[in-house]
Amino acid sequence: METAYQCEVAALLPLSIEVAENASSALFCLRFPEHMFSQGIGRVAERLQEETVPL
């Protein structure tokens, strides 16, 4: 992915039936913190925090 798009890839988030079934009934990442989707979202959040410049 990084080679094809020539940019950093923070995480690959494939379609997850569990996430789709959850819909908006709960915050998925808090309810299922060990799920692969939640782990990927965590990596994206960490990477974004690294780039955030304090005001």
pLDDT in tens, 5-47: 898 899 999 889 999 999 889 999 999 999 999 999 999 999 9
| Residue 50, pLDDT score | 86
Residue 41: predicted pLDDT: 96
- DSSP code string of 11-46: ------HHHHHHTTSS-HHHH-TTSHHHHHHHHHHH
Any idea what DSSP says for residue 53?
A: P
Local structure of 8: helix, strand or coil: coil
pTM to 2 decimal places: 0.75
Q: Does residue 52 surpass a pLDDT of 80?
A: no
What does the block give as tokens for 7? 């940019």
Q: What pLDDT is attached to residue 14?
A: 85
Report whether 35 contacts 18 (CB < 8 A): yes
